[in-house]
Structure 1
């Protein structure tokens, strides 16, 4: 699995449609699902406000994403209204989720590599069709993944793990961490893997990603452990697969990271 795919697997991004059609008048975020939100503007002129002030007048097809949620209001500027697709977004707390910008606003003219998915989504969203809900759900999920890849490829994120993927040395370190989660990594060994001194590597890693290297190693291991537990793997095998010598050490690390034991976490996750 490539590094970005591993990060996406930890974050588990999901989009759920809550509106598609013509917006005449205004729409306030307080009236819609809480959490992250995605708006895809197909046509029309739209005024975008925060809680009190005008943020931007949108005059062309545009993708607007608030990954972590943000109070906002959209107001159609023409009598004909605006054609929009709106979805709520959910992410699991993870390095990828924390690296996402608070606001992503991209004219569709800049997303030519995503145009085929956007065209299909618009085709499905504005007239009744068989299996419409299922198709739209999958297209929204695909669009979200492609947007994350676009952020990395175009170096749009200024910090966090997504920015680190654009730094060759940090990208290599993240790659080996995810490829060998059971390896007893040290800062010295990771620095050697990427051809840097220990001090320079540790400082760069912390500055860009926002946490020390071994803190990232631990979190990555334990996020993987959560997925393995949900797949039905017993704790004894999971702890070895993610680099712990036994279930006692694994349980202590898991509880330090998530404030809950693996057994209790699994019970909650399965309910």
Structure 2
């Protein structure tokens, strides 16, 4: 009987040891689940930004990464604000939205894809000309000279809306050689001698590294673009998105924007 009892006790211990294995697996599974959750939360931050923000936002993203290594930033998508808004409304994933005017953000907010936005910077227009201003352009009225090739942004995008307002305020009727879908295209055409002049932002002149000269037209200070920034309502990396927006609005972020020629909100 004593030998039988010992055998039964040994069997019970063996069964207990076996039953502990599923428990360990469950614990391991829980850790895997948590690791997956961490991986999900550290997906690269997706930022959509107006073309005029390219230099400044590349610098902002680089500085943000240094102090927030847990939030990787994907290459920022730059384009005209209207084009970016269309992509967002059509279902493209995005975390942070930074546009060149409030009107461009309206389709996104009306679709319920972004909530409250905050103005983080301002910008004004300049007449961009090749270095040395070979055509001797002094103001908006000079842009109507016969034979002069002038390019501006299309009226649907913020730089185009601002250009139309500036010209109307000055009583200047301009027939441009082309209307571009974003301000970067206007900059490129003037830099490549495909146009004699173009209407761009002050920040584009500052970022041209001497490839453009800028002329401040009369009334430019009356036509100010205010740049809004918002977190998408369905941001895949919501925590990172809020951290990035906070950085843009911080004194450090504002210093970077100022270095690229942006005005205060």
Fold match, TM over 0.5?
no
Higher relative contact order (CA 8 A, sep 6+): 2
What's the TM-score once normalised by structure 1's chain length? 0.23
Rg (Cα) greater in structure: 2
What is the TM-score of this pair, normalised by structure 2? 0.23
